[in-house]
Amino acid sequence: MVAAVVILVSVLLLVVGLLCLRFSFLTAAEQDYREIGVLKAIGVAPRGLKRIHPATDAMLAALAGAGGARQPREDELPLNQSVVDFGASRGH
């Protein structure tokens, strides 16, 4: 019974997370649509537009990945220690 409740809550959280992602992507697409319109208005060639957006997305992804990798995990040690302590108390 407890497992079913945990699974249900997990599925609901997954659905909420996917909805948040969907709305985030839709908002980003609307903002990109405006930017593309401005770039077309100032005379950027369609070939240039096809190069600009993937390049900016890749740059942002690289910066976010580097920032996440460099961020210290202050809460990691206590969590690992509690898992080790739990395993030791159960005789594993």
Q: What string of DSSP letters covers 19-88?
A: HHHHHHHHHHHHHHHHHHHHHHHTT--HHHHHHHHHHHHHHHHHHHHHHHHHS--TTHHHHHHHHHHHHH
Average model confidence (pLDDT) across the chain: 83
Q: What is the pLDDT of residues 71-92, one digit of tens each?
A: 766 656 666 677 777 777 776 5
Q: What is the pLDDT of residues 16-33, one digit of tens each?
A: 999 998 998 888 878 888
Please tell me the distance from the alpha carbon of residue 30 to that of residue 9, in angstroms, as a whole number.
32
Please check whether residue 49 is in contact with residue 36, taking contact to mean a CB–CB distance below 8 angstroms: yes
Range(s) of the domain holding residue 39:
2-71
Please check whether residue 67 is in contact with residue 88, taking contact to mean a CB–CB distance below 8 angstroms: no
Q: Does a structural domain hold residue 32?
A: yes
Q: Does a structural domain hold residue 92?
A: no
**Portion of the chain with pLDDT greater than 90, in percent:** 26
Q: Does a structural domain hold residue 36?
A: yes
More confident residue, 44 or 15: 15
Give the number of domains in the chain. 1
Q: Does a structural domain hold residue 78?
A: no
